[in-house]
Structure 1
């Protein structure tokens, strides 16, 4: 597992806003979503840091043996691993909502062009009717 230097929620928020501004998609109305995405990114980094410490201490990375009440031992996913999957899924969903994925950027550009063509058609039609 690679080491990752964690960022603060504020650093992530600034980074996300900077990315959105460079794409021309930032609006203040998105700040609640941006805050949630930034918090999730910071929590994911903390989870990864704790996971690294736990792996060094125990030697287990993704699964560990767990003995239940009946004495049966099974391999169980490490909670850090399952948390990381959930954090990454959430980050991807919020990233798409905020237009930070290549597919969402492409869709928003296509939608913008379609709206412009429709607006032009409607304006032309209304001017012809007058």
Structure 2
């Protein structure tokens, strides 16, 4: 049976993993919270999917009365969440793909002519 961790547990785990990888900065906390929310939603959906017997499709009757098989909405939501989770894990440098790349470099501030002028006036 799948166990669903709380958001607080997931957040602690993510921050610990980022610290172990040397990628954590407090400025990432908002991004971490969004990522953790997606992980939590995915776990809840995964539990519901397991409880359904991993049923991918269901019968659906449209307004015209025709009955067809369609993907269950929960399965579609899980597919979408997987893509978003991967995207956020890239941003947070939590996967092997991003660990092989250099972190973004700080943009050096270029002093404008106005800044130079004001500095010289002091």
- TM tier relative to shorter chain: 0.7 to 0.9
Q: Which residue of 2 aligns with 1:87?
A: 81
In structure 1, C-alpha distance between the alignment counterparts of 2:22 and 2:50, rounded to whole Å: 37
> Which contiguous aligned blocks of 4+ residues in structure 1 show a shift greater than 2 angstroms?
50-53
Residue 36 of structure 1: CA displacement? Answer: 0.7
SS of residue matched to 2:16: helix
Q: What is the Cα-based RMSD across aligned positions, in Å?
A: 1.9
Higher helix share: 1
**Equivalence map 1:19-98=2 (5 Å):** 19-53=17-51, 55-56=52-53, 61-98=55-92
Extract unaligned runs of 5+ from structure 2: 107-122
In structure 2, C-alpha distance between the alignment counterparts of 1:11 and 1:32, rounded to whole Å: 16
Q: Which residue of 2 aligns with 1:99?
A: 93
Residue 73 of structure 1: CA displacement? Answer: 1.3
Extract unaligned runs of 5+ from structure 1: 116-130
In structure 1, C-alpha distance between the alignment counterparts of 2:30 and 2:90, rounded to whole Å: 15
SS of residue matched to 2:102: helix
